[in-house]
Structure 1
Amino acid sequence: MVESAQFSNHLYHPKYWLLWFGVGLMRLLCMLPLSWQMRLGAGLGTLVRKLAGGRSNTAKRNLALCFPEMSEAEREALYKRNFEETGKAVFDTINAWWWSDSRVQKHMTIKGVEHMQQVLDGEQGVILFAVHCLPLEMGARILGQCHPGIGVYRPHNNAVMEYLQVKGRLRSNKGLVPKRDLRQMVRCLRNAEVVWYTADQDFGRSSAVFIPFFAVPDAATITGATTLAKLGKAKVLPFYVERNSDDKGYTMEIMPALDNFPGENEITDAIRGNQVVETLISRNLPQYMWLHRRFKTRPDPKGPSLYK
């Protein structure tokens, strides 16, 4: 488990200078009032939408696949709003990594912590079943104000970004576990820790089942929640965070533990999990990460891509 950010002189290499310049700029922008940040973020997202052809097409295709019942005008409006929210998420992340605790507390609302505490009081681990909502980094930071947990993360290929994300996320977590280290996750859960978990992205064919996700009948979905809950003897609690509609703060909510989870089999659990995911995403459609190629893995490896 990663419990500290490791800095080395190698990070001063000239190849990282431009990145460090950007980091310095972000640190300055972090000092702006939240409302100013959000206006800048919305403009940034609009600019990215016009320039990022590939990701832009991915978002459009995801919305068309998931919501065929929407009119084209409705999907277009959601698509444009989603890019504005994505631009704002840049500031959500830097705020989560660099704001002081007092500033976080000034802009946060917490609901449902008693559900988590009830499980912990019973000396069981908690799996926070989250989705990739755009302010997710801030959700972890807010939770850290009352109960730091264990973050599950993907190590970054860029050494500077790895240092920054570890340092930033350890402001709200006791430690970080690489997403493939199942043994460490189980160990933490058996020690009655709180572990983050997401199952709403396409992680490939390994350990995946093909089940409905919104209007797509055969989305590749991992079944790790069942494995973790069984081996870790833990409870699964849906978790959600969103940026408030007035852009002046964040609301984090922990919901009651899922009853009878794990259930009869991992496929039934995965279907139930996707239903939970759909409910969470539907709370604020524009604030979900629609830029991810959620349906890139198909049941037939030789079948046509849904993104062509």
Structure 2
Amino acid sequence: MHGVFVDANESLAVIFERLEKSGDPKVRINRNPDITPDQYPKLLDGAAIAIVDHTALPTEVAKKCTGLKHVVFLGTGARSYMNPEELDELGIAVHLIKGYGDTAVAECAIALMWEAARGIARMDREMRAGNWLREDAMQLTGKTLGLIGFGGIAAEVARIASGSGMRVIAWNRSPKKHPKVEFVDLDELLTESDVVSIHLLLNDETRGLVSRACIEAMKPGMILVNTARGAIVDEAAMIDALKSGQIRHAGLDVFNVEPLPADHPLTKLPNVTLSAHSAFRTPEASENLIGAAWAHCRRIAKGSK
């Protein structure tokens, strides 16, 4: 049994090579992160395992990948790139990696929250253009942070925010308990929170969950942070709320279309801070990620014997 890392950037490729052990299944690394889905059949060339960072794998393309039995997806958001149920019907199992970047993503969410509160990125842009922009910021100490969804990342966000003097409340689809976090229903979270940060997986139940009605129910002048998946939020409603001031500022690491087109409406709004789906990209998280990918490959190879 052998595999192919189909879309490795150089930093992940180097870690992948370094973590290889004697006796590991043979995995060829394609050092090109910008492949297109139609390249899968040729790249895999009969391989049983595909390690995928971010390249979409449509079901129709997967049907052409003779020999493919396992997809090791580098993260938890595989549904943004493929349909696991349809692949399963083809005999292709999709393996996810959880928890590898909880701290990295949480720190990014906190950074976006603080930037949204202070407006530093906008001041930087204006000063480079020769404008001395000064506006009142939002002081976050004593404010309420509402977490929509509560897993490992949200727990890390809660830890950091609590330590900075914020009240933390959360809503989760299943009951949870966590120190220094008050769990409330979604309606209460929307009306009570000065900052709302989203921490849900994308699936049929969460797609569009933060709807226009939800956004209209939020506290006027609040901050919205999304490091989860863009499709969880009604994008058109969010843009309208940013224009009206219902949302003071949005800090976004994820989008409906990625890469975000240069002419996208979000790029034209001054009260949005954009980052390129990079919340999880730290050396520590990458090390955890690739270590877990190798663990999947070893387990798969062992089970195939």
Short-chain TM bin: 0.3 to 0.5
Larger radius of gyration: 2
What TM-score do the two structures reach when normalised by structure 1?
A: 0.34
Instruction: Choose between structure 1 and 2: higher helix proportion.
Output: 1
